[in-house]
Structure formats: C-alpha cells, structure tokens
Structure 1
Amino acid sequence: MSSGAEAPISDAVRPDLRADCGSCSGLCCVALPFAASADFAVDKAAGQPCRNLETDFRCGIHSRLREKGFAGCTVFDCFGAGQKVSRSTFEGRDWRTHPGTASRMFAVFPVMRQLHELLWYLTEALTLPPARALHDELRRALRTTERLTEGSAEELLALDVAAHRDEVNALLLRTSELARAGVRPKGRGRRKNHRGADLIGARLRGADLRGAGLRGALLIAADLTGADLSAADLIGADLRDADLSGADLTGAIFLTQAQLNAARGDAATRLPSALTRPAHW
C-alpha cells in the first residue's frame, strides 16, 4: 500500500477479493453444508456436491436460484477464497480429478474465506482518512494476513484463524471508532450504539443512524425504510430481509455485497460506491 493519499474504496477494491466462479472448482457448492429452509430447498451435507452443480463446476440454475428456492446461494460471498484455494493452494487441481485432495481442499476453503474477508475489511480500512493514525498498523495486519493466505494446505489447517480474527477485529474496531468520531446525528443527538443488539423486526423507518455502531446487530426483517445509515459501522450486521428502501448507506463502514444481497431495497436506496444494487431489488 502506498503511504500517500488513500484511494476511495471504489478504486481500492482488489480483484482477488472478488469471487471468480469460473476459476474455482465449485467449492462453496460442495464444501459447505446447508439445511432445508427459506434459504435452501433441500438439505446438503458438508462435502456433498449440490444437486445443481454441473460437471464444469457451474451452477445449473444460477439465473433462477431465488425462484428455485436457493436464495441462500445468492447472498454468499467467498471474497475470492474459492479461486485462491483452487488455483493457488492446490495449484489448479480439483477434487473431482484428484479425489485424494478433496477432504483437505474442503477443510481449507472456510479458513481461506475468513482470511479473505479480513483482507476485504483491512483494504477498506486503509481508505478511511480519519483513521490515518492506524494506517501503519493496518498495513502490517494486511501483510500478515496476505502471508497467511499463501501458506500450504497443512499450514492453513494448522492456523488458529479465530485468534487471528480476534486480533484483526480489535484493530478494525479502533479504526471504526476513529472513522465515525466526527459523525453526529442531526441536532444534538448522540451516535447510537447498537453493537450486537437484537433489532429483529425493529421499526426504524426514517431513523437517524448516522455514524451508528451496528456491529453484529440482528436487523433481520427490520424496517429501515428511509433511514439514514451513512457512515454507520455495519460489520457483521445481519440484514436478512431488512427493508432498506430509500435508505442512505453512503459511506457505511465495512458493509459487504453479501449483506446487501440478503436485504430488500429499491432504486432510491443510496449505496457505497464499491457495492452494486442487487438485481432482485
């Protein structure tokens, strides 16, 4: 990372942190389990290929996932971990033609996904000018995490990824506090702190949540119509079926495409420049 002026997040997004399904051996469709629910039409065990996975590792119903009962697939994001494991860690070998690698490949994938998610957050953190005092620490954490992703399958499986996440998350929390320090709701209100709060189905229509702390908040099916969430910290917030119609999410911190895909919105929803409006809105 350059020590000069930081690029806006839209310019800093790394291609290697975007999922490239054409360069992956369908790992998310095999390695991960899911249960029959509103998100998945059937049960599937870890290590069992999804019934919709074709021989070329593509999804046979990709354009019809929601109508076929697989909405959960549309909100999953590997942050580029799939192609990293397939092309780098296992050097282009896939679990079908090299079945002896399957169990290790499936076990490495969720570890790599966690590391790539951290890389996404750390990359974004380095675009936040108010957190400039932490940029050296953030760069070190970024380099350390990058080195971990380059490890062998055995090294990745031996990694205490939870401990590394805890260390990076502490740094990201400090980053968030600095980034939001100068943001205040209208009038003389104080920034809301709803970290980890149960806001399932909450009526927050038109709420002033500028700069709010919503890390890990449960916002499932919450009514956030017209709410102002600009510069809010949304890392890990559960936005499944939340109504973001007309909401302002510009400058939201650590918001991901997967979170948006899980929510509802409309043409009036204002988004950070790095993210795209989901097709189902």
Structure 2
Amino acid sequence: MTAPSTARQSLSGRVALVTGASRGIGRAIAVRLAAHGASLVATSSARSAEALEGVCAEIAAQGGQAATVIADLADAEARADLVARASSYFGAVDILVNNAAAMPEFAPPSRMSLAGRQQLFAINLDAPLDLCQQALPAMRSNGWGRILNISSDTVRQPPVPYPASADMVHALAVYGASKAALERVTQGLAAELHGSGVQVNALAPSRIARTESAERIATEMAKTHPEWVESVETMAEAAYQLIAGPSTGLCISSRALLQQWQAPLRALDGHTVLGDCMTPGVA
C-alpha cells in the first residue's frame, strides 16, 4: 500500500453526507471534513435533531456550510430518498460516510430475537448499501466519489482472556457480524468500481473510541489499558486521510492507517497537531 502525502488537501467543492452525525464519531468526521472545505449534509433520526442542529451551528461558526436531513435509517421507505434530499442543498453527494449504527438488543446470539436481528442489520448493513446505491450514479457520472463505511473491532471474536466481561463480549457477537458483512460489501464494491474514480473503504477504531455512548466502557478500559482507548479525533483523522487519499478496498483500523501512512493526529480544525497514532484518548 502506497502512502499518500500527509499534507492537508482541500475538499472545497465536494459535498459530504455523514449519517449518525449528531454526536461521537459521526460528528467528529463531519466537523473535520467541513474544516477542509467540504459542504456538509448531516443526518440523524428525529430524536437527535437538536444535537444535529448543534453540529451544523458548530460548522457554520467555523466558516463552513452545513445542512441537516432527518431520517430513520431503520425504515426502508424513510431512507429511500435520503441522498436525493441531501443533494438538494449543495449539489450531488460525492462523499458518503456511513457512520450510523445500532444495537437494538444487548443479547448474545442464543437469545437475540428475530426482530432485534432484523433491525440491527437494517441499520448496520442494509441502510449503508442502500445509500451507496443511491449515491453511485452521480459519483460514476462525475468520475469521482468517496464512500467510507465505519466498521468495528467487534468483527473479530476477541482472544481469551477477554478484554471485557464474557457477557459483554457475547452480546456484541451479532453486532460484530453485521459489521463483518459491511466490510465484505466494502471490498466487493471497491472491486466492482475499480477504475471508475469511486473509492470505497471501511474504517474502525483500533479498540474503542471515546464517544458519548461508549464513555462507560472507555473509562473502565482506560484504567488498565489506556492504549486501547482512542479519541474521536483519531477516527476523524483516519477518515480524512482515506477520503483525501488514493486507496480503495481497505478495511483498516484508525491507528494502523495513521501508522502505515505516517500521518500526524490533528484536531478537528484540521490544523492543530495533537500527536500521532499512539496518542491515547484518555482525556
């Protein structure tokens, strides 16, 4: 894998759609892409509408432009025209970040209900693929596009001894299966689109990103393994590098990418250097 230049590259003139953008990794990636000049369309479900507006206000305060679209990604009809709605603000979407994910039931495979599995796969696999299919015609026509699917370290069964309680590890198995399926689709789509100018990659936290929803487990892990916890800035940096860079078909962790490409870790402003791939997210 050839590493690209780590110099800041402009995304001016590009339109990015980021799902699950009201907080955590989605918010961080949205703010970071806007810092490089991309026009942002941020989406979330209705229950996060207020927080989503706050993200757009944050981007506007930094001189960027952003708009919001509300959609329930678990509902096939509600997401059927999401890319078209997003494109009505700043033009065709040419950067798609499929970040939104859900785990409706915290249960091991032996007990997770069919309804829970169906909703989990609807949001974690079906929705990203639907949005890819919606965005691809314009990307192909323009000869340029970037699709980034956010995956998870849970795609692999952890070795014994487990890094967390056995109950937690088992309860993450079906969630991990949905992300493993997303990675397989990522690689297949990247191969299908070879030579089109559209690049497709998947990115996961190295272990766990310190987000609002993961704060409890991140705090616990940081007591004994601070190196297992990373900041959302780490994911945002790696996401930017993949979107600005030349690679396709990668399914890689944030820290592995930054280490292999020798990229510094910058703040969400895209300028301030915070450290490197080994900087823990324990603040």
TM-score computed with the length of structure 2 as normaliser: 0.28
Higher strand share: 2
Higher helix share: 2
Higher relative contact order (CA 8 A, sep 6+): 2
- TM-score for the superposition, normalised by structure 1: 0.29
